[in-house]
A and B are shown apart, each in its own frame.
Chain A
C-alpha cells in the first residue's frame, strides 16, 4: 500500500489469497479494489531482493450498489478472492462482494507489433502513395503491461450475504455460500446456478443457525464442507442428492457443561473452515480456539489449540463492543504441520502440530524492520510479568488480524493488519521444525 496516502476505511484489507504456485498474492479491500503482488524471481544480481513481492496490478473489482427493492446499500467490500488453477499464460481469479461474484482474467502484454503497412507508428493511416514495398510487422518488446478484464459476472444468485467461494478441483465449477444457501456455478455459465444447500426455515422466525463458511474438498470434487454459527461442520456429498440438505457427516464437539455461559454459543460459532492440503483434515476457527478435525472422526476434533484463552473472562465486554462477533480466518502451511491464525493487538499465532510448540508474533511497523527477525510476544495474565509482556487490559482490540494466508509451498506468510499488508519470509530455516 502506498505510504503517502492517508489511511481511510476503503483501504482496509478484507481478504488475502496466494495463487496455487505462490507466485502471486491477491488482496481485496473495503473499497472494492483488488491489488495483486508478484514475487520477484531470485536473481544473482540483486541477492537482497530475491523473492520479494511487488505490486503487479491494481484494479477496481466491485462498485457500491443500491438495492432498490430493499432500500439498502450493497457494499463493494471484497469478501473473498479465490484463484483459478492456471491453464494458460493468463491468470484468473474470482472475487466477490456480498452479492455478486466476478471472474477476472489477468494477462500480460510485453510485446507489440511494429511496422504496419497501412498505419504509421502513431496509428494514422499512411498516404498510400508513399508505400513502395510491403513489410511484415514484427513483434518488438515493450514495457510490461498487465491487463485485467472481467470475463464473467455471476449476479443475482444470492438473497443473503456471500461469505465464501470455493473453486472445485474439477476446475469447471465453483460454489458460493451465503448465510442460508449454497449455490453451485459453472465457471462458463452466468445466468443460472444450482442450489445445493438451503437451510432457510419456512418461517424466518424459526431461524437459529446460519452458514458461516464453506469449502470444496481439495481432491474429491463431490465433497464439500460447510460450517455453522452453532459450531458444527457438515460434510456433504453431491453424488448423494441434488439438494445436499442431508449431510453425509456431522462434526460437532459436545459442549463442556462446566464451561457453559450465555456466550457459549457465540464463541462456538465457526468463523472459518479450511481443508488441509492432504485432504485428510479440516481446520476450524471459533472465537477462542483453532481445532483440527479428522474427516474420519465426527465426535470431536483431534486437536484443539487456545488462541487467546485470557479473553474468556472478558466475554461480556467483548460482547458489548461487538468484538465477540469478529471473524478470524485460519491457515495451514504447505505441509499441514503448522497452523496459523490472527488475534488482537496485531498479534498472530502459529501452532506446530508436531512439536506442540506455539508462538505469538506481532505485525507492526514499530516492532519489525525489513529483514529483522520477529520477536515472540507474550500476553501476561497476572502472575509473573516479564519485561516485554503485554497485559490483557492493554490489548488494542481495534487492531485485529482477521485475514492471513500461507504460501502453498514455502514459509512465506501474508498478514493483513487493518490497511497494511505484511509479508514475512523464513529464509534462514525454511523448515519450521
Chain B
C-alpha cells in the first residue's frame, strides 16, 4: 500500500510526456492487460476441465486488444520511448482509463491518484514476463514481429490452439502435454509466481484482500506435476 500524499516519480519511461507529469502510458497498461490475459489463457492445464465461459471472455478481451493495437499500428517490439512520443496527447489518460473508456474520447482527463497507480512500478517487470513467455510459447513472441498480417495469423493460431485444447483433450493431446514440459516451463512458473505475488498489490489498486488470495501459478505448477503423474499412471495401466 502506498502512503497517501506520497508522490512517486514515473522516471525514464515517460520521456515523451512533458506536461503530464506522472500520467502513465495507456499503451503500457494495455500491453500489461494483454500479457495478463495471455497468461490466464495459458494457465488452463488443470485436472478439472477449465471454465469455458471464462476462457471465451478472456479470449475475446485479447482479440479486442489485438484489434485496437492493429489499428494503432503499435507493436510490443518497438521501444517504449517511441511509443510514448508517437502516441497523441489525447490518448494519454489516467490509470482508471482501462476500467472506464478504452480511448480518450473526452478532452480532459483527471490526474490519477498516485496510490491508485500501481502500473508504474510494474513497468520494470513487464520485460521479464514477455521474455519468459517468449521462451515458453513461440507464438506469443508474435508481438516482436514486424508484419501485422503475420501477427494476426500467429495470434489467431495461438487462440485456436487454446480452444482446441479446451475442446478435446483426446489421447493424442497427451503428447502435447509432454511436449510442453521443458526446463523453461518451471522457470516460467517461478517467474510468474514472483510476478503475480509481487504485482498483486501493485498492479491494480492494491486491494488488500488480494494479498490474502493464493497466487494461482504456484498451485497450477503443482497440479501440472500431479496431472502428469496421473496421465502416466493411466497410460501405464492401459
A binds B: yes
> Is there a chain A Cβ closer than 8 Å to B96's Cβ?
yes
Interface residue range, chain A: 35 or more
- Looking across the interface, which residue of chain B has its beta carbon closest to that of A228? B53
The answer to whether A205 touches B49, judged by C-beta atoms less than 8 angstroms apart, is no
Contacts A212-B53, A314-B99 given; does A72 touch B60 at CB 8 Å = no
Q: Mark B151-181, 1 if CB is under 8 A from A, else 0.
A: 0000010011001101111110010000000
Query: How distant is the Cα of A316 from the Cα of B234 in the complex, in angstroms?
Result: 40
The answer to whether B47 touches A72, judged by C-beta atoms less than 8 angstroms apart, is yes
Contacts A71-B234, A72-B48, A316-B99 given; does A210 touch B53 at CB 8 Å = yes
Residues of A within 8 A of B49 (CB): 67, 70, 72, 74, 98, 161
Residues of A within 8 A of B218 (CB): none
The answer to whether A312 touches B101, judged by C-beta atoms less than 8 angstroms apart, is no
Stretch binding the partner chain, chosen from B81-89, B123-131, B134-142, B207-215: B207-215
- Looking across the interface, which residue of chain B has its beta carbon closest to that of A203? B160
Contacts A71-B174, A204-B163, A398-B209 given; does A312 touch B52 at CB 8 Å = no
The answer to whether B204 touches A263, judged by C-beta atoms less than 8 angstroms apart, is no
Number of interface residues of B (CB under 8 A): 55
Residues of B within 8 A of A265 (CB): 57, 60-61, 64
Residues of B within 8 A of A316 (CB): 33, 98-99, 203-205
> Is there a chain A Cβ closer than 8 Å to B222's Cβ?
no
Residues of A within 8 A of B156 (CB): 205
The answer to whether B207 touches A210, judged by C-beta atoms less than 8 angstroms apart, is no
- Looking across the interface, which residue of chain A has its beta carbon closest to that of B116? A313
Residues of A within 8 A of B17 (CB): none
Query: How distant is the Cα of A322 from the Cα of B174 in the complex, in angstroms?
Result: 28
Nearest Cβ on chain A to B130's Cβ, whole angstroms: 17
Q: Mark A149-188, 1 if CB is under 8 A from B, else 0.
A: 0000000000011000000000000000001100000000
Query: Of A73, A319, A325, which contacts B48 at CB under 8 A?
Result: A73
Nearest Cβ on chain B to A178's Cβ, whole angstroms: 9
- Looking across the interface, which residue of chain B has its beta carbon closest to that of A99? B49
Contacts A259-B101, A265-B57 given; does A317 touch B204 at CB 8 Å = yes
- Looking across the interface, which residue of chain B has its beta carbon closest to that of A67? B49
Would you list 25 pairs from A and B whose C-beta atoms are within 8 A, ordered by A residue? A72-B47, A179-B53, A204-B160, A207-B56, A229-B56, A258-B101, A259-B101, A260-B102, A261-B99, A261-B102, A262-B30, A262-B65, A262-B98, A263-B61, A265-B57, A269-B53, A269-B57, A312-B100, A313-B99, A316-B98, A317-B204, A319-B33, A320-B203, A393-B208, A397-B213
Interface residues of A (CB under 8 A from B): 67-75, 98, 160-161, 179-180, 204-205, 207-210, 212, 229, 257-263, 265-266, 269, 312-317, 319-322, 325, 393-398
